[in-house]
Amino acid sequence: MKRNLKQQFGQRLTVLRKARGISQEDLAFLLDVSVETVSHIERGIHGPRFDLLEDIARTLGVEPRELFDFQEV
C-alpha cells in the first residue's frame, strides 16, 4: 500500500525525533503544541501548518527540506 504525503512526513518526523532522543511529549513542549498534535502528525492523520514546519525543522536542527527526505524512511 502506497503511503500518502502526510503518512510519509509523519514517519520521517518520527525517525528524526527518535534519532535525537526526543519524546513526543518533549517535542510537543518545545513546539508549544499538544502531544495529540505531534501524535496525529506522526501517524499521518494531520499535516503540520507551514509555520509549524519551520519550528519542527529548527527544533530538530535540520533544514525544512530534510523533513521531506523520504528516501531514508
- The tally of domains found in the chain comes to 1
Kindly report the CATH number assigned to the domain that includes residue 43: 1.10.260.40
For residue 16, which of 51, 42, 46, 52 has the smallest C-alpha distance? 42
Rounded Cα–Cα distance for residues 63 and 54 (Å): 9
- Regarding pTM above 0.85, the answer is yes
Instruction: Tell me, yes or no, whether 68 lies in a domain.
Output: no
In tens, the pLDDT along 26-72 reads 999 999 999 999 999 999 999 999 999 999 999 999 999 999 998 75
> Residue 1's pLDDT band (boundaries 50, 70, 90)?
low
Question: What is the three-class DSSP state of 53?
Answer: helix
Instruction: Tell me, yes or no, whether 36 lies in a domain.
Output: yes
What does the pLDDT read at residue 73? 47
Instruction: Tell me, yes or no, whether 64 lies in a domain.
Output: no
